[in-house]
Amino acid sequence: AYAKACGSYQATVGGESGEALSILTGMPCELIRFVGEDFHPEQLWRKLCGSRDSGFLMTCSTTTCSVKASWLQAFHVYSLLGVYEESVPGKGRVRLVKIQNPNRLTKWQGAWSESSSQWTPQLRQKLCREGGGDSRVFFMEFGDFLKQFAHCTICRLQANGWEERKQVSLAGGGQYRSGVSLRVSAKTDCSVSLVQPDERLARAPGSAPLIAAGFVVLQQDGNSVVEVA
């Protein structure tokens, strides 16, 4: 489906998983790189746990610089299926990530791999029963995950969430003034995004040129309206 949207398989070479997820789902995606002054492992762990609880789609990717073990593929996208924090006798609290390699070629063979002696029978039964026997799935300790992978992507897609989409045509550079009104009765999360075809889709046959576009978020209180974002 992604190749069809881009016009060819050649047009899908390279790039990030967030590009495909955004195009296929229409939902916003967040790329988190595991380097830089703004990166904090503890914040990432909390975000991954929250994304797991919300049912968001998650992926993780390698580069040539990030891969330090021959069991992982460079420049490859893996599915990030889950995150767990468990008590292990003699080790205390251990943070684990559950990963799937879509093409089955390689699988992590380090700590907490399928043959690792660190597993207890109880923990293996608890965490490995879902998707048990799938040769593409493996576990890693969170610290190893940060060393071996370069970044992860979170797609805010929820199977049971509400969404509304509105297609807008701005032919000739005209202006479109419209909006969606939401009445919120309880505290909740809400994502608002404005999506245009990315560079790959823009090269596909029949694609419209990209334009400068944006939106504002307004809060109405009685007869007054205040811009909040």
Q: Which residues are catalytic?
A: 76, 101
| Total Cβ atoms within 10 A of residue 203 | 13
Dist. CA 225–CA 98, nearest whole Å: 46
Angle at alpha carbon of residue 215, lines to 161 and 201, rounded to 5°: 75
Q: In what order do the strands lie in the sheet with 57-61?
A: 29-33, 151-155, 57-61, 77-88, 92-100, 137-141
Angle at alpha carbon of residue 67, lines to 33 and 138, rounded to 5°: 90
Cβ neighbours of residue 153 closer than 8 Å, sequence gap 6 or more: 16, 17, 18, 21, 29, 30, 31, 32, 58, 59, 60, 61
Dist. CA 141–CA 223, nearest whole Å: 54
Dist. CA 21–CA 33, nearest whole Å: 17
The answer to whether 39 touches 167, Cβ cutoff 8 Å, is no
